[in-house]
Structures are given as structure tokens and as C-alpha cells.
Amino acid sequence: MALPHQDYAVPQTAAKVRAMGGTEFLIIYGLMLLTVGLVAGVLAGLLGVGGGIVIVPSLYLLFNYLNIAPDILMHLAVGTSLATIIPTSIRSVLKHNSRDAVDIGILKHWGPWLFAGALLGTIIAAYISTGGLILIFGCIGLTVALHMVLSSPDMTIADRLPQGPLGSALPLVTGAISTLMGIGGGTLGVPTMTLFNVPIHRAVGTASGFGVIIAVPATIGFVVNGWDAANLPLYSFGYVSLIGFGLIVPATLLAVPLGVKLAHWLNPTMLRRAFALFLALTSLRMLWDSLV
């Protein structure tokens, strides 16, 4: 666990502030994290995307700007994102369930395998480098961006979700990859369920429950994995930034209703394409960083 007096590297602009004392740096750090939460909340409400798919690349860019040690940068972004998913997922699934949009049968079948996948993801994360995590997010993020632009919401490949080994493998892989990306499972789970003829609104409502199933074991895993990590920023709990968690969660919850309102005023297709462009460019930047 990082202690308040721990040393850390910052770029020249922030270093000048830190030279005057840690409080000024914490204010700048906090304002940036608050902005990440507000942007994630607006986009989540606007586009119906999970917060993690916004928070992770945003934290990656922020931590990179603040010159967080490269060997922990992506782990810190993923772990912090996973922690923020817990309260937002609980709030989301309760709201969807109140509208009878959660398929309890799918949750019961997928839940244990999502949990097992999250555990598998944390084990893999303990042995994978920051470059490996960046590569995974970049590849999957780019795929998601292309899917958002090119896919048809009416496309299906089967009449119902598979049973047997494939029916277990889908949530297992979803849980593992979501953990490694720092997302709640909806980004992968919703398109997977719709491909198997689950109605989109029911898929979104059900996937809202994936977040807490994945994020609780995954967050604990990232705390344990990063417990003795060096060069963590101030007030980190393993690979979870407590400042990030404390500011991103309320900012996200506050901004989601604004995003929902904006969705009724603005062109959703153009916004979806704009976000896909942001995700694609960010993913390409991350892929470039992982390869150079």
C-alpha cells in the first residue's frame, strides 16, 4: 500500500507544483480524476456504454501525463476502474430489475462462470506486464469500436444462448477479458447475448449485473497484486487509487442523468460514431505504446 510520504515521478508541469508541497499536486490530481468521472458518466448515459470502457483509457492518458511509473501505469488504471464499477453496477442492476429488464436465469447460469473468469483474470494480471495489459485493451477496444460502427443490432447467429461447454466458456472468457481490461462485462456481454437472440434491452439490463460479479473479486485481486508495488501515487490501495475511486464514482453517478437527457436531444448515431472514433484512436495510441 502506498503511504502519503511515498515518492513518485511527475512531469515538469506537475513537478513545479509538487515542489511547493503535496497538497497542490493532490488538488490537480483530484480535479483531473473528477473530470474523468464526469466524462465517463455523461458518455455512459449518452451512449449506453459501460463506464470502464471510458475510464480505463482516460486514466491511462491521465497517468501517462502525470508520469506514473510505466510498469504500474496500466495496472493502476485497470484496478481503479474495476473498483468504481462495484457501486455503479449495483445501482444500475437494481434500476434495470425494477423495470423487469434483468434475466435472472442468465445471471444464475453465467454468474459463477463470470466470477471464475474474474479470478482467472486477476491471476493472469499478476504475471502480465503493463505492455501486455495495454495490448489487450488496445486490441479489444479497437474491435469494440469497429463493432459499434459496423454491426447491425438485428444480426443473430442462434435462437438462444448455448448450453454445455460453450455455454460455460462464453461467460468465463467474458469475465477474464473484462477483468484484464478493467470493464464490467457489458461491453462484451451485451453483443454476445444479442447474437444469441436476447433482446437488446434485456441484454443491457442483464449485463448491468455482470459488473458487480466481475468487479468484486477482480478489485480484491488488483489490491493484493499491487500491495507491495513501488512508485504508486499518493493514497493508493494496491493497484486502486483511493482518490480516483472517491472522486470518479460520485462524479459518474451525478453525470449519468445528464447524459441520458442529452441522448434525447442529440443524434445518437453520430454520437456513437464519435465515441467509436475516440475509442479507436485511444486504442491505436495504446497499441503503439505497447509496441515501441
Judged against a pLDDT cut of 70, whether residue 52 lies above it is answered with yes
How high is the pLDDT of residue 22? Answer: 63
- Distance (Å, rounded) from C-alpha 230 to C-alpha 175? 28
Encode pLDDT of 2-14 as tens digits.
Answer: 444 344 444 444 4
Mean pLDDT, the chain, integer? 84
Tell me if 290 sits within 8 A of 70, measured CB to CB.
no
Q: Which among 173, 248, 178, 172 has a CA at the least distance from the CA of 218?
A: 178
Rounded Cα–Cα distance for residues 285 and 287 (Å): 5
Could you tell me the three cell numbers for 42?
455523461
Measured distance CA(96)–CA(209) in Å, rounded: 9
Q: Is the pLDDT of residue 186 over 90?
A: no
Percent of the chain with pLDDT over 70: 88
Task: Look at residue 16 and tell me whether its pLDDT is greater than 50.
Answer: no
- The vertex-173 CA angle with 126 and 105, nearest 5°, equals 125
pLDDT recorded at residue 118: 97
291 or 217, higher pLDDT: 217
Residue 65 located in a structural domain:
yes
Structural domain contains residue 7: no
Calculate the dihedral angle through the C-alpha atoms of 45, 48, 52, 58, rounding to the nearest 10 degrees: -60
Tally the domains of the chain: 1
Q: What is the mean predicted confidence (pLDDT) over 95-102?
A: 82
Q: Where are the alpha helices (DSSP H) in the chain?
A: 12-18, 22-47, 52-65, 70-98, 104-127, 130-150, 164-181, 186-195, 200-207, 210-225, 242-265, 268-291
- Any bridge partners for residue 240, and if so which? 237
The mean pLDDT of 190-206, rounded to a whole number, is: 87
Q: Which residues pair with 241 in a beta bridge?
A: 236
pLDDT at 172: 97
Q: What is the DSSP string of 36-55?
A: HHHHHHHHHHHH---THHHH
CA angle 287, 290, 292 (to 5 degrees): 105
pLDDT in tens, 202-224: 888 888 889 899 999 999 999 99
pLDDT one-digit tens code per residue, 267-279: 767 777 777 888 8
Q: What is the DSSP track for 45-96?
A: HHH---THHHHHHHHHHHHHHTT--HHHHHHHHHHHHHHHHHHHHHHHHHHH
Contacts of 49 (CB under 8 A, 6+ apart): 43, 186, 187, 275
Does residue 6 belong to any structural domain of this protein?
no
Confidence of residue 31 (pLDDT cuts 50, 70, 90): confident
Please report whether residue 239 resides in a domain.
Answer: yes
The pLDDT confidence band at residue 61, using thresholds 50, 70 and 90, is confident
Q: Is residue 5 part of a domain?
A: no
Q: What is the DSSP letter of 240?
A: E
Position 68 in a domain = yes
Residue 100 falls in which region: left (phi positive, over 0), alpha (psi -120 to 50) or beta: left
Q: What is the pLDDT of residues 151-185, one digit of tens each?
A: 776 778 888 899 999 999 999 999 999 999 999 88
Over residues 225-230, mean pLDDT = 92
Range of the domain at 179: 12-291
pLDDT digits (tens, 9 = 90+) for 102-148: 899 999 999 999 999 999 999 999 999 989 999 999 999 999 888 88
Average pLDDT over residues 30-53: 79
pLDDT higher than 80, residue 62: yes
Burial of 154: CB neighbours in 10 Å, binned 0-12, 13-18, 19+: exposed
| Res. 48 pLDDT band, cuts 50 70 90 | low
Q: Highest mean pLDDT: which of 95-99, 136-140, 184-188?
A: 136-140
Whether 2 is in a domain gets the answer no
Quick one: pLDDT band at residue 257, thresholds 50, 70, 90?
Answer: confident
Q: What is the pLDDT of residue 49?
A: 67
- Tell me, yes or no, whether 119 lies in a domain: yes
